[in-house]
Amino acid sequence: MPEYNYSDAEESSQYIKQFIKSNPQTAIISGSGLGDIADMIQDSITIDTTKIPNWPKHSAPGHEGKIISGTIEGRNVIMLQGRFHYYEGHSMKAVIFPVRVIAMLGVKEIILTNASGAINDSYHAGEIIAVKDHINLMGTNPLIGPNESKWNERFPDMTNAYDKKMLNVLSSLGLKQGVYAAFSGPSFETPSEVRMAGILGADLAGMSTVPEVIAANAMGIRITVLSCATNMAAGIQPEKRLTVQEVLDGSKRASEKLSGIIMSLIKYLNQE
C-alpha cells in the first residue's frame, strides 16, 4: 500500500514521463460523467492508470481511470479522467496524489470540473457555475500530517484559492460565480444541511474538489473550477428526491458546453 509520499509521486511521474512527448502546461481534471472533454485533445496518448505505480484505484460510477496527454490549441495538456473521492474510502493523501504527480510533470494551471447540487435558487439544473471560493465541510484537510516541505509550506495561504484571471475570463463568457461547500458524502445532504450551507454563504454543494484545490494552492499551481449544477440541492425543490442518474444525465448534457468553455480558457492561457 503506497503512502502517497514524495518518493511515491516521483515514481509515478517517472512512469508517466515515458509516454508523454513534452511537459504538460495545463491539466484538466474531470468529474462524474464529464469524460467526453477528452475528444478535444489532439495528438493524444492515453495512459491506463491501473499501470501507473502507486496510483490509487477507481470505484465511483462514471469515473474512468485514464490519463490523456496531448495538445489543445497547440498547448500541452494532460487530462485526468475521473478522480478519487474521500467517500470511496480513499485517504485524503490518495485523493490529492494525482495533483502531486502532475505538479512533478510541470503543470502550471489546473482546470477542474465537477458536479454539484445548486443551493442558490437563482441557479437552474444544468447550469455551469465558476467557483470563486469554497467552504470545507468535509471535516478534514488533505494536508493534515507531517509536512513534506519539498511540496509545500506548513500553512498555505488560501486567500485567492481560485485564480482571479481565469475567473475573469469565465465571467466574460457569461458564467455566474458561486461558493462551493464540500461535504464528505456519499449520502446527499439533508435539506437542513443544504439550508445551513446556504446561510453560511454557499451556492453549491458537492463531495469533491476542495482537497485538490487545497493541494494545488499549497504547491503554487493556479486552479479554476467549473461546477455543473446537475440538480437543485436537497430540499430546494420540496418533496423531490435526488438520484445519481440525474447527476450523470446532467453532466452529460453539460459536457458540450463545458468543452467550449475549456477551449476558451486554453485560448486565453495561450495568449496570457
Find the shortest distance in angstroms from Cβ 27 to ligand HPA: 21
Scored b (16 or more CB within 10 A) or e, 56-69 reads bebebebbebbbbb
Closest CA relative to residue 78, chosen from 87, 86, 69: 69
Task: Please list every residue from 39 through 58 that binds ligand HPA, using CB under 6 A.
Answer: none
Contact letters for ligand HPA, residues 112-131 (x by CB under 6 A): ---xxx--------------
Asked whether the beta carbons of 25 and 107 are under 8 A apart, the reply is: yes
Task: Please list every residue from 186 through 225 that binds ligand HPA, using CB under 6 A.
Answer: 188-189, 205-207
Q: Which listed range, 15-23, 90-98, 109-117, 260-268, lies at the site for ligand HPA (CB under 6 A)? A: 109-117
Smaller CB distance to ligand HPA: residue 169 or 210?
210
Quickly list DSSP for 61-94.
TT---EEEEEEETTEEEEEEES---GGGT--HHH
Does position 227 interact with ligand HPA (CB under 6 A)? The reply is no
Residue with the three cell numbers 495538456:
77
- Residue from 129, 242, 258, 261 in contact with ligand HPA (CB under 6 A): 242
Smaller CB distance to ligand HPA: residue 72 or 233?
233
- DSSP lists the bridge partners of residue 206 as 182
Asked whether the beta carbons of 111 and 262 are under 8 A apart, the reply is: yes
Smaller CB distance to ligand HPA: residue 225 or 247?
247
Question: Helices 210-218 and 92-104, interaxial angle, to 10°?
Answer: 40
Binding site for ligand HPA (CB under 6 A): 115-117, 188-189, 205-207, 230-231, 233, 242, 247
